[in-house]
Chain A
């Protein structure tokens, strides 16, 4: 549990988010220095996003590089009305990782190649240090889901688990997993929009 002193205030998070949005604006105008600053302040977060899904160091490094090239190319398309800059960047990185993981292999821990593999810890978003308003709302709604459905959504989001991988994890048929995801996601949207 983090103490109040360690937890950045909502205003600080908003300020950091504004900084990233400003950097994206400058990058859209082809400002290489702004791009370097953006990389320095966000690369570890984005590497975390892709490395939890891909688990192989070489593939994660490649996905991170491709994600930042995309961010450079697409910076002009970022719309602050539709989400945070970090969320927008993480979505790009995550999609690169998911394309890769769905192209070459099922997301299965059992099938992970040995040799180059760093261990990856599990993520507990409920222990998050810094929470934006949007994250707070999402976590509150996730908290309303049944424990299994919540875990399935989080494993899919953070670790890139497919329905098949979730079925193996929970020892349930994929049809059941599909039903869980459908109910879970629809309930989540209803909660977020209420």
Chain B
């Protein structure tokens, strides 16, 4: 009742989705402390949500149910034992960290503030699990953000006769996907391949692997859809 008209409108725009990034982050943080604002946003979401029923469905490119079920299990997972299991446990923890970091609307605001506040001691080591679904990691890419050194370890990437795996960095600021070169399906690939990219771009980008003719894409563009994808998460000490 006592919500200021400007806040009322901001709540409506939050639900509609038209706020710019900074405004959206600010409101996401405020709604955590301001129940009236939170209620106004929820009311607007409920008013507009019937529109979702009117839109034609689109079939996803893959069956994501196994990956989703794996994430749910990971969230409740018990510790595991031997070498491979330990690796899977670590992968699970990184994945859970990535999920937790993006899971809640407010994390946008909190993460943004935290990142600025901790710039001086920002993590240097990041890892991306490149996978088709959560239970079948194919490569692990680790990146040192200071040296821009990239290390890619194969985990379970099937060898492709007469073909090569090629790694791409995808970030809207870069335009089309940029090649990071061929990666080996049987051995560790290492090199300062990210030297040309800005820190923020490296951190926010999506990493994707495509199957290309032997030696790599002939025209510098991906020949097909990615077979494995992943995003970076910081490695905790």
Contacts and interface: CB of A to CB of B under 8 A. Distances in A.
A98 B45 CA distance: 13
Contacts of A69: 68, 71-72, 75, 99, 103
Contacts of B57: 44-45, 47-48
Contacts of A154: 51
A87 B225 contact: no
A125 B59 contact: no
B52 interface: yes
A72 B221 CA distance: 38
Q: Which 10 A-B pairs have the closest CB atoms?
A: A87-B49, A90-B52, A44-B57, A125-B54, A135-B50, A128-B54, A105-B172, A48-B58, A83-B46, A134-B50
A185 B108 contact: no
Interface residues of A, number: 84
Interface in B36-56: 42, 44-56
B60 interface: yes
Contacts of B68: 39, 65, 68-69, 72
Contacts of B62: 61
A156 B56 CA distance: 17
Given A116-B222, A163-B18, A99 B54 contact: no
A84 B50 contact: yes
Interface of B: 9, 12-13, 16-21, 24, 42, 44-62, 64-65, 67-69, 71-72, 75, 99, 102-103, 105, 108, 170-177, 204, 206, 208, 221-222, 225-226, 229, 231
A51 interface: yes
Contacts of A111: 172
13 contacts: A51-B60, A62-B229, A68-B68, A73-B75, A87-B46, A91-B46, A102-B21, A113-B175, A115-B176, A132-B53, A158-B55, A185-B16, A185-B44
